[in-house]
Amino acid sequence: KQEVTQIPAALSVPEGENLVLNCSFTDSAIYNLQWFRQDPGKGLTSLLLIQSSQREQTSGRLNASLDKSSGRSTLYIAASQPGDSATYLCAVSGGYQKVTFGIGTKLQVIP
């Protein structure tokens, strides 16, 4: 059974700081990994999708890496802003369970 863990569960940083969010998964037989952000009570916004054959993806201040063999992904956010405050979830696709989400990291960026 695929299990997805995100550490830390919550993170508070001052504005302007660079930060890293972590996602680990137990079964390396995946199709892809996707990072989302979710604002309270809202839907999910896709940030980055990394296919299993890729090592990283970048979009603006965001960079996501994938190390399939070790079952890890990181989301790097550069020069954090208060508007980045949200819960960040990673989701792994592939295998019998189709898609498995982590419980998320709640990020607060303090002005």
Partner 1 sequence: DTEVTQTPKHLVMGMTNKKSLKCEQHMGHRAMYWYKQKAKKPPELMFVYSYEKLSINESVPSRFSPECPNSSLLNLHLHALQPEDSALYLCASSQERGLFTDTQYFGPGTRLTVL
Mark the segment that binds partner 1 (CB under 8 A) among 19-27, 68-76, 78-86, 93-101.
93-101
CB of 10 or CB of 79, closer to partner 1: 10
Query: In whole angstroms, how close is the CB of 6 to partner 1 at the nearest point?
Result: 9
- Side by side, the strands of the sheet bearing 56-59 are 4-7, 19-25, 72-77, 62-67, 56-59
In sequence order, the 6+-apart residues with CB closer than 8 A to the CB of 34 are: 46, 47, 48, 49, 50, 90, 91, 93
Segment 43 to 62, residues that bind partner 1, using CB under 8 A: 43-46, 49, 51
Q: Which residues bind partner 1 (CB under 8 A)?
A: 4, 31-32, 34, 36, 41-46, 49, 51, 89, 93-94, 98-99, 101-104
